[in-house]
Amino acid sequence: MAVFVAVASFTVLCWDHIITFADEVALIWCKRKGPLGYLFLLNRYITPLGFIVKIVALTLPTWSTESCRKFIRFEGAMATIGVSIAELIMLLRVYALCLWRSRRLATAIPCLIFLVWVALEACLMTRGEIVSHAQQVHSCREVYDLPP
């Protein structure tokens, strides 16, 4: 089931890239890029690469346990990077939208929450373990071994 969801998600992502490519060229590539432009491009092109590796990991039956153990770290890192980039873009938008004097306070609170979230994600990634499957099932998935 996870393979179907991953392939369907990747298909929607590719379709979105195709139908919005002309807008991307006009709004990003043909203009001077600032931090938001680079974050956008990073998010736009790292995500499909991560998806391709994920689909391979879900379907390739020859992956060893050691390869799978390395992959689950990659999968967690890719998720954290993707969400972090989107959150950084949102933080820049919050900063841009604050028209009042306490702009620093208005962005400091979400920035602090962001830093705490990244730290928690980093701790969680160190606790990831491979999901045990029946021998007939070929999949490389992660579960978190958290203390009770």
129 touches 144 (CB < 8 A) = yes
Of these ranges, 7-16, 38-47, 118-127, 135-144, the one predicted with the greatest mean pLDDT is 7-16
Cβ-based neighbours of 103, under 8 Å, separated by 6 or more: 95
- pLDDT tens digits for 17-46? 999 999 999 988 898 888 888 888 898 998
DSSP state letter for 126: T
- pLDDT tens digits for 112-134? 999 999 898 888 877 777 776 65
Quote the pTM value. 0.73
